[in-house]
Amino acid sequence: MSGTYGQMFKQIADAGYAGVETTLPAADRKQEFEELLLKHGLDFIAQVHTNGNHKDSFAVQVNQAAAFNPALIVAHSARDCMGWEEQYDFFEHAIAIEKLIGISVAHETHRHRAMYAPWTTAALLKEFPDLKITADFSHWCCVCESLLEDQAEAIDLAIQRAIHVHARVGHAQGPQVPHPGAPEYGKELATHENWWEQIVKHRLSHGAATFTVTSEFGPRGYMPALPFTNQPVTDLWDVCLWMAKRFEAQFPKWSH
């Protein structure tokens, strides 16, 4: 998105979104950010991205996020190249911090991170019963070069521990189809929607009062572009809004 905070928040609210998911604003923009959330009646989901000393980075960023009293914190956590002992140490630390701040943290299934693949995520979830995830299975489709047909056990476990969804549709050769409504990606869309439905049903059957989902298609890099022009093949705002409205239509009794 482009423009001022005021313009962006108004565009988001006017489109019917219930909240904003983003990284934290600069310290000198905190008051403006919070005032705009209140003005437009928007919830806030905070994103954090660990780096360097990942344990210290997580603690600092999560405590900063907690100052905004977000509905949820989504974390890009640790690294794919960490050994098991280092990952274990990180997530043990992360769960302790989460309990201290009293705000749910959902670790995203994202490439480059500890949860980059179904099997690495399953190992962590089995080790830590309190560990929760943001389900973005589009990344796993890319990593596994498939629609995860041979990963049913890991998918089932991830579905049970997902508390938030990033509703982007991936395919065997990438984490994002050009447009989820295109008929040539019908199988990919149906596969992802089946996963999302199972997550929503599991959450509600276990007493969750609300469920959150972010329509999170990405800009150029994620979005294919025409050669020699850098022109995106579809409009990003339209794609995200299409996916959001599609999700509401698929799950009307859980949408607001």
pLDDT in tens, 5-29: 999 999 999 999 999 999 999 999 9
- Position 105 scores a pLDDT of 98
- Token digits of residue 171: 């395919």
- Position 13 scores a pLDDT of 98
User: Would you give the DSSP letter of residue 29?
Assistant: G
- Position 250 scores a pLDDT of 87
- Position 255 scores a pLDDT of 55
Q: What is the mean pLDDT of residues 130-153?
A: 98
Instruction: Specify the pairing of strand 225-226 against strand 133-135.
Output: unpaired
Confidence of residue 254 (pLDDT cuts 50, 70, 90): low
Question: CB–CB of 138/175 below 8 Å?
Answer: yes
pTM of the model: 0.96
- Position 252 scores a pLDDT of 73
- Token digits of residue 223: 């979005």
Instruction: Specify whether domain 1-108 bears CATH 3.20.20.70.
Output: yes
CA distance 212 to 71: 9
The helix (run of H) or strand (run of E) holding residue 214 is strand 212-214
- Position 26 scores a pLDDT of 95
Confidence of residue 35 (pLDDT cuts 50, 70, 90): very high
Q: What is the mean pLDDT of residues 172-195?
A: 97
CA 242: distance to chain centroid? 17
pLDDT digits (tens, 9 = 90+) for 45-80: 999 999 999 999 999 999 999 999 999 999 999 999
- Position 181 scores a pLDDT of 97
Confidence of residue 210 (pLDDT cuts 50, 70, 90): confident
Domain ranges of the chain: 1-108, 138-256
CA distance 123 to 141: 18
Q: What's the whole-number average pLDDT of the chain? A: 96
Give the number of other CB atoms < 10 A from CB of residue 22.
Answer: 15
